Structure 1
Amino acid sequence: MVTKERNEEKTGFQESGPYRATYDLQTDFVMVYGIDQSMPQRIRDWKEKGYIVHLMTGVSWGDYQTYLNGKFDGQLHWDEGQRNKDNNDISHGKDVPYMVPSISFSKFLVERVKVAIDEGVEAVHLEEPEFWVEGGYSEAFKREWRIYFKEPWTAPHESEDAQYRASKLKAYLYTRTLDRLCGELKEYGLSKYNRFLRFYVPTHSLINYTQWQIISPESKLIDLPAIDGYIAQIWTGTSRTPNVYEGVRKERTFETAFLEYGMMQELVSGTDRRMWFLHDPIEDNPRHTWSDYKENYFKTVVASLLHQGISDYEVSPWPRRIFEGKHPSEDGVSLEGIPSDYATTLLTVMHTLGNMKQDDIQIHGNSENIGILVADSMMYQRKLIDSSSEAIPHYDGTGNAMNATHQELLDFSPFYGLALPLLKRGLWVRPVQLDNVRRFSNYLNQYRALILSYEFLKPEYPDIHNALAQWVKEGGVLIYIGDDSDPYHNVREWWNTGNRKYHSPRDHLFENLGISPETEQGIYKVGAGVLGFLSLSPDKCAKSKENGDLLRAMVSKSIECSSKDILLEEKNHFMIKRGPYTIAAVMDESINDRPLEIKGAYVNLFDPKLRVVDEMTLKVNENVLLYDLTFNPSNKGVRLIAASSRVEELKQINNGFEMTAKGPEKLFAVARLTCPEEPSAIEMVIGNDILPIEFEWDQKSKTIFLKYFHRSGQETKISVMW
């Protein structure tokens, strides 16, 4: 039997380099990166190796000197680079500015991507539509301001209103560009080749872009019909960004990744669009050790697998830098290549990810979702306006904050102050896209309790409050946290213009709920539902345990006052079963430090030897991915449990089984399979060579462990006889 077809496109990776056997990961598809002159040949090379080939290129930055230097249309375009208030370029590298996405720039990208379409790519990924908060000063942006607002340009740093308006324009410009690119290129593929091309946008989460002070279209992409889906660009580099909980600033990779992946799952919720979750076994910051990369990689993988709505994955960006790169040794004295055991485990996890589409989903304990409302407008108010306002070098996860003010912004405490006090108690906190309330009818119906604050985001349209109020009146529990102290309440927007003016959008929301804006904090019945109001700036909930306790108490008491049968079960861990896979994580800083004991018969998929275990004891900050050997007990035959190869064929014969595998060379591969009888003979054949193979038989579980290798361009064939 063939275990998995490539056309399912469950797993893929991106690579800018040519094909090499050392990083031939044998996923379903590869995203050839970049539109330089070598792109056509790279597409052909990967196709010859059996991959479905996509193209990926940056939509806001890249090696676009041909365009910048006037070789595309005879005009210089360096004035289209993003610039800060000091008139310095905001760059991704030498002579690689982030772009202000003009109409002419979109024309350039169209022409270059057409070359890839001519080579037969099946999909195109236009990644990272990014406009930095510190940008907005180049001549191209000033022109776009005049066209969009029909008024002279205003420097974004001069007021909250100017900053907010500049940010809205930045989001619009990349929305416009993606709409033009995807629409025009889809038409090109159909008219010239009668081929329906798919277009995807690899993008960071709304949480991370807000935290790093970047503007991007985010939920506005939902409104573009030519976009078919996304890649959630979440990895250790985004998720290890420090945040503050109970006054302590530190990395919280698992918790941050959990929220980020949840945010991206929300981007496709209720749509027919596809989402791949990204993992990266290392990251852009080259200064960490391999053990550090491994620990944080496991945290992001487990965090992503807890979101059962997604089962497709980009298993790696840049595998060349993983399997051929060098990083600091544990003693910090030298650089070393990837440890053999870590490489083997990576490949095992990568191939396991292709099997995560499971019908049988079981969540351990109570899984009531508590939604935290977020919005694209979080990105629009990410600069403090004061007399000392200065341009700050952009933060991309590879450096440190520049000063105390920048660090305070980078903490993004207004959001984490609402999320972490609940997430750290094992509650299933979900970011919920406020903007979608007006996009989809009944959007909020899957939630029974929501938390909202307008101290770090704003509702872009007043009718959002109609839907929120109706949801509460029909029985929902809304907890509002805020003290109206945010200076961005004063930007020129719908709540303070026209005949009826409100001090803040909260006033308009409360009016729709039938509650006076002057109401003191407390808990109020609203129809069949409840409003809980805590007059406290949400960032304070991150800065002390006392304020975190106030938030938890308000959530708990508001729910108790509702007519809904909502049970909140506090614990220090998360655990879920997806078919045969058990995924679990235990957190620190939680309700207790009690270990989580998992008993049964399992294979540990984070173990390079795929050991069989009867129980796992997870301590604080530990996580695990297990295969449950008792799943589907009626299947008594040969069954693949896990392998660090692509298993092309697995066939049971009268007195044994045969397996055909492919994978990168120079790396040891492992596999564990169920086996009805103890093997009497095992043989490995690569090409014309019969080679020895390591194996272990486990009588109790009736499984066999194999250790073998691959050669470039050849299949590894293994025969097991009993």
Structure 2
Amino acid sequence: MRNQAFYALILTAIVVCFTQGNVLAQVKSKEKTSFQVAAPWSADYDVRSDIAMVYGINDANGNFEERVKGYRDKGYEVQFMTGIAWGQYKDYFLGEWDGKNHLDEGQMTQNGETIWHGKNVPYTLPTPSYIAYMKTHVKRAIDAGVTAIYLEEPEFWARAGYGDAFKKAWQNYYGFPWMAQHESPEATYLSSKLKYQLYFNALKEVFSYVKNYSQSLGKRVKCFVPTHSLLNYSSWHIVSPEASLANLDGMDGYIAQVWTGTAREPVFYNGKSKERVFENAFLEYGSMVSMTAPTGRKIFFLTDPIEDRPRSWEDYKVNYQATFTAELLYPMVDNYEVMPWPNRIYQGKFSVEGMKEKQSISPAYATQMQVMVNSLNQMPLSKNKLNGTQGIGVLLSNSLMFQNYPSHAGYSDPYLSNFYGMAIPLLKHGIPVETVHMENLANKNTLKDLKVLIMTYSNMKPSSAENHQELVKWVKSGGVLVYYGRDTDPFQNVKEWWNTGGNSFNAPSEHLFGLMGIGENANKSTYPVGKGKVYIVRQDPKELVMKANGDADFITTIQEAYETSAKAGLFVTKNNFLLKRGPFVIAAVLEESKNKDPLVLEGIFIDLFDPELPVIQQKSIQPGNQAYLFDMAKVEDQNKPQTLAAAARVTDEVLTKNSYQFMAKSPSNTKNIMRILLPAKPKNCTASRGGTAIALTKNEWDEQSKTLLLGFENFSEGVEVNLRW
């Protein structure tokens, strides 16, 4: 008892010391990995991430407070997620909440139909009464003790905007009567701007309420927005506040909702439109980073082992690996939503192409997924950069969502090709291209490491003249701007700041070029501006990818801009991306590149995409494939017994001179596999549950790597493992 008291005193002292510095956040509150779940806790999908985001107040899965308590009792930090544009809010829409039927607030199309998310669940317009209703939800969640609020997917469909509620909001916002968005480019643009502003205001008001109410209770409840990327929303014709939310006082961060379902959206390259999942996912995650990184807001990356559309399980696995690789190639992010809806993944059955009966997840895929998910608990931040030419970016703006539906005057942009035309060719040449949010240009961190910035106004427009002033400042200090665009799309002439209030520019680019001293007929190829240079190419970027070999001159132009004008070093083309983060090696090899060679890595690795966790000395990655490896040479303490990879979360480790003991927790009814570093081949290996022995399905020693491959049945409450040598 005396020793226990002594150690307790020491532990208390350590905790007190930690509270004096930045370590506190990770010591007191584990917030690295999470999952969202509407169902009550169950051993069958007990994922063992840090955070359980309990979904919905009214979901038909038991009492909300009981669900919160159920996850908290199992050791999770419990937070709350619900939809802001849709949800199980029948009590509101059918009049139970305030005695008024609110179905007329649903988002309505031109033919008078409401856009539904489910029965009596419309995509809604956030009216004052709806916002008041949402405040009751977040209050109940705060009262239940959650530590964060997630209001997901603030979505307004571009094809909506015809109901009476929207017409009223239009009159209040613009001060003049509603205009049907299909009748003119200006009406389309103004309609989307209003949709954008409505959800910006709604989130601002609800988050302000969350902060004020939680602080009145002596708490600080955080606020996050789980959202698709700007690229996906623009491609799917949805309007959302996106980047502007990062500057809200009450906003703590985002979840980047990227997965196979968003990344498999076809894109054009070399004259062909098809799924390019890795490339699209890489750009989607990148757009979320560029939205948040300059502001310092926190971001979680999401990926999903399955998706809603029926495909084969092999398709799910291949694309999960592609999106998972893409998210890990951003070393400045180390927070992850490891999966949505774990009960759906572990207990659901899915329509599979070529099979009559719906199929459950295979034991092998479940094991592989759990290895990948549990590795994220170890994933470090890294200052390492992706291999290849650095400092090339493509400019984005929230207005990318404003003009892609409906089309006008015969001008179209299939599959968002005016963006992908600037980005996909660079990726296919092995350039780790960045995206840059125009809304963040005033932040000093946004352009500080950029050498060449590529932009167009064929698919977006600047929100203010200040955007241009920031670009001019950057070019004059040595930046190189490459402008692609004919400036002939019908949105160039919408009534906006560049042609109103004393301005009379035919296109926003005229204003930009004028600030740089470039005349109205800006058709020459290059212009010196201060210490920098501007390239003007009168092509719309979609022309670079919608025809075969259309990107040849583009690549030559960017190489000249980078090497000659920016003097930034060599423009190196290749067919792969490679990043090392601590002991983890992440690699992808691209298809459709001139170089068809595989990337060959040599060392002593554990293959984390293989559910058998083999130790290999060489990995050959063919074009179109990715790899996820654990580098044995990067283990910090080679003499310390430790679990290197596992399909379970390892806790309660105890080390002695000749033994290693720990607890392994993962969803019940799944198969565990572990690769464990030991000083010598163990003489005795046991696994037990509550004192009852569990059979080992694997017990193999690898002398070269000094690792033990151990396998057994998983149990959510934990399996105690004892190893002696």
Deviation at 1:241, TM superposition (A): 0.5
2:202 is matched by which residue type in structure 1?
Answer: T
CA 1:410–1:106 in structure 2 vs 1: closer, same or farther (change >3 Å)?
farther
Q: Find 1:568's aligned residue among 561, 567, 571.
A: 571
Map residues 218-229 of structure 1 onto 2, 5 A cutoff. 218-229=242-253
Deviation at 1:92, TM superposition (A): 1.0
Structure 2 equivalent of residue 651 of structure 1: 654
Is 1:203 aligned with 2:207? no
CA 1:307–1:690 in structure 2 vs 1: closer, same or farther (change >3 Å)?
same
Structure 2 equivalent of residue 113 of structure 1: 138
Conserved 8 A contact 1:290-1:328: no
Conserved 8 A contact 1:257-1:303: yes
Q: Find 2:617's aligned residue among 610, 614, 617.
A: 614
Structure 1 equivalent of residue 69 of structure 2: 44
Deviation at 1:11, TM superposition (A): 0.6
The Cα RMSD (Å) is: 1.8
Map residues 132-531 of structure 1 onto 2, 5 A cutoff. 132-191=157-216, 193-285=217-309, 287-329=310-352, 331-359=354-382, 361=384, 363-364=386-387, 366-386=388-408, 409=413, 411-438=415-442, 440-441=443-444, 443-531=446-534
CA 1:89–1:201 in structure 2 vs 1: closer, same or farther (change >3 Å)?
same
CA 1:19–1:638 in structure 2 vs 1: closer, same or farther (change >3 Å)?
same
The farther-off stretch of 555-564 and 535-544 is 555-564
The farther-off stretch of 96-105 and 39-48 is 39-48
**Identity percentage over the alignment?**
39
2:360 is matched by which residue type in structure 1?
Answer: G
SS at match of 1:446: coil
Deviations 1:568-626 (CA, angstroms, capped at 9, x unpaired): 21000100000110000001011211100000110011110111000000001110110
Deviation at 1:69, TM superposition (A): 1.3
In structure 2, C-alpha distance between the alignment counterparts of 1:140 and 1:58, rounded to whole Å: 20
SS at match of 1:615: strand
Higher RCO, 1 vs 2 (CA within 8 Å, ≥6 residues apart) = 1
In structure 2, C-alpha distance between the alignment counterparts of 1:79 and 1:104, rounded to whole Å: 13
CA 1:711–1:32 in structure 2 vs 1: closer, same or farther (change >3 Å)?
same
Structure 2 equivalent of residue 667 of structure 1: 670
Conserved 8 A contact 1:289-1:327: no
In structure 1, C-alpha distance between the alignment counterparts of 2:267 and 2:359, rounded to whole Å: 31
Is 1:688 aligned with 2:688? no
Deviations 1:417-450 (CA, angstroms, capped at 9, x unpaired): 1111111101011110011113x13531121110
SS at match of 2:268: strand
TM-score where L is the length of structure 2: 0.94
Q: Find 1:580's aligned residue among 583, 589, 598.
A: 583
In structure 2, C-alpha distance between the alignment counterparts of 1:276 and 1:691, rounded to whole Å: 36
The farther-off stretch of 264-273 and 698-707 is 264-273
Is 1:104 aligned with 2:129? yes
TM-score where L is the length of structure 1: 0.94
2:659 is matched by which residue type in structure 1?
Answer: G
In structure 1, C-alpha distance between the alignment counterparts of 2:519 and 2:301, rounded to whole Å: 43
Q: Find 2:50's aligned residue among 15, 18, 28.
A: 28
Conserved 8 A contact 1:6-1:51: no
Deviation at 1:63, TM superposition (A): 1.2
* Equivalent residues, number: 698
SS at match of 1:154: coil
1:49 is matched by which residue type in structure 2?
Answer: K
Deviations 1:14-54 (CA, angstroms, capped at 9, x unpaired): 01111111110011011111111732221111111111101
In structure 2, C-alpha distance between the alignment counterparts of 1:657 and 1:94, rounded to whole Å: 54
CA 1:5–1:13 in structure 2 vs 1: closer, same or farther (change >3 Å)?
farther
Q: Find 1:635's aligned residue among 629, 635, 638.
A: 638
Deviation at 1:633, TM superposition (A): 5.7
Conserved 8 A contact 1:322-1:338: yes
Deviation at 1:557, TM superposition (A): 2.0
Map residues 538-577 of structure 1 onto 2, 5 A cutoff. 538-577=541-580
CA 1:27–1:442 in structure 2 vs 1: closer, same or farther (change >3 Å)?
closer
For structure 1, the residue ranges without an aligned partner over 5 or more in a row are 389-404
Deviation at 1:369, TM superposition (A): 2.7
In structure 2, C-alpha distance between the alignment counterparts of 1:92 and 1:277, rounded to whole Å: 24
For structure 2, the residue ranges without an aligned partner over 5 or more in a row are 1-10, 12-25
The farther-off stretch of 38-47 and 603-612 is 38-47
Conserved 8 A contact 2:408-2:490: no
SS at match of 2:550: helix
SS at match of 2:405: coil
2:235 is matched by which residue type in structure 1?
Answer: Q
Is 1:14 aligned with 2:17? no
Structure 2 equivalent of residue 402 of structure 1: none
Is 1:703 aligned with 2:707? yes
Structure 2 equivalent of residue 91 of structure 1: 116
